[in-house]
Amino acid sequence: MHSHDYRCPEPFAGQSVLLLGAGLSGLDIAQELSAVTSPVTLSHSQAPLRSLLPRGMLEAPGVQRVLGDGALELGDGSLVRPDVFMFCTGYKFTFPFLEPGELGLQLRSHMVSPLYKHLLHTAFPSLSIVGLCRAICPFPHFHCQFALSVLDGSFTLPSREQMDREVDTEIRRLLDSGVPLRHVLKLDAEQWDYNDQLAALGNFPALPPYWRSLYQANKEFRATDLLNYKRYNYQQLNVKQRLAARVERLRRRGSDSDGSVRS
């Protein structure tokens, strides 16, 4: 089965499950399943996870092939026979409510084109597809995708020819830098410049910088504390609060055991 069809862990109770892929879906589902069944094996080809794992959750090399008797051959040559084999390997774009051929919409290798700023069809700019990009801070990112600025006339689009040139130039830049076509929509660290570009084009305020800090902190905590990171709480501080918090940290760092403050 594919992670697309997963809804909740309870139906898998008492079964052994192997998940292929250690992205966000694989990590989340494996952690949920470990609460109701064992073993739950996370099969992937990345570096070993740095975090403590839930009881009953294991790591294994990536699946190389499925044998005729249903066994799975892993990267180290070992064989496993889980009750459930779940693909957590990403998604392919489909638009059954559109006619991609008539629109000239190309779907290939996790890429959709031609879309200006990964958003607006260059030939039919009233068609916007929000939320295609991956490895992003989702809702602030969606907020910046400026389709409304185009629709209400506050932003005038370039000509179709210019938009097509910009799309081709950007894809070529990424491919020349070694980014595979299937990862062109994976922004990660580039999402902040992208969001700022949209804000400038749409003439609306850019995202506050704390979103970047929050995204990076959450990414690191997920890697090092998988069991607890979703329970972390964050507070947005204004300038005075940040200064006061910094002074307090310095005070505590400089305090002697008797509570006095070093000069």
pLDDT at residue number 150: 84
Q: Are residues 33 and 115 in the same domain?
A: no
Q: Is residue 53 part of a domain?
A: yes
Q: Which of 65, 87, 109 is the last residue of a domain?
A: 87
Q: Is residue 219 part of a domain?
A: no
CA distance 244 to 262: 18
Q: Are residues 71 and 130 in the same domain?
A: no
Q: Is residue 232 part of a domain?
A: no
In the predicted structure, residue 263 carries a pLDDT above the cut 70? no
Q: Is residue 5 part of a domain?
A: no
Residue 39: CATH number of its domain: 3.50.50.60
pLDDT at residue number 96: 86
Q: Are residues 83 and 106 in the same domain?
A: no
Q: Is residue 221 part of a domain?
A: no
For the chain, percent of residues with pLDDT exceeding 70: 97
Q: How confident is the model at residue 153 (pLDDT cuts 50, 70, 90)?
A: confident
Q: What is the pTM of this model?
A: 0.81
Q: Which of 158, 175, 205 is the last residue of a domain?
A: 205
Q: Which of 39, 54, 87 is the last residue of a domain?
A: 87
Task: Please compute the mean of the pLDDT values over residues 141-151 and round it to a whole number.
Answer: 86
Q: Are residues 113 and 188 in the same domain?
A: yes
Q: Are residues 75 and 131 in the same domain?
A: no
Q: Is residue 225 part of a domain?
A: no
What's the whole-number average pLDDT of the chain? Answer: 91
Task: Please compute the mean of the pLDDT values over residues 49-61 and round it to a whole number.
Answer: 95
Task: Please compute the mean of the pLDDT values over residues 148-152 and round it to a whole number.
Answer: 82
The range of the structural domain enclosing residue 35 comes to: 10-87
DSSP class of residue 205 equals: P
- DSSP characters over 32-74: HHTTT-S-EEEEESSPPP-SPPPTTEEEEEPEEEE-TTS-EEE
Residues 27-39 pLDDT 10s? 999 999 999 999 9
Q: Are residues 30 and 114 in the same domain?
A: no
Task: Please compute the mean of the pLDDT values over residues 233-260 and round it to a whole number.
Answer: 76
Q: Are residues 46 and 123 in the same domain?
A: no
For the chain, percent of residues with pLDDT exceeding 90: 72
In terms of Cβ atoms closer than 10 Å to its own Cβ (0-12, 13-18, 19+), residue 67 is exposed
Q: Are residues 107 and 172 in the same domain?
A: yes
Q: Are residues 49 and 115 in the same domain?
A: no
- Determine if residue 104 is left, alpha or beta; phi over 0 gives left, psi from -120 to 50 gives alpha, anything else beta: left
Q: Is residue 125 part of a domain?
A: yes
Secondary structure tally for the chain: helices H, strands E: 8, 11
Residues 178-206 pLDDT 10s? 999 999 999 999 999 999 999 999 889 99
Q: How confident is the model at residue 261 (pLDDT cuts 50, 70, 90)?
A: very low
Q: How confident is the model at residue 118 (pLDDT cuts 50, 70, 90)?
A: very high
- Which amino acid is it at 104? G
Q: Is residue 251 part of a domain?
A: no
Q: Structurally, how many domains does the chain consist of? A: 2
Parallel, antiparallel, or unpaired: how do β-strands 63-66 and 57-61 relate? unpaired
154 vs 226 pLDDT, higher one: 226
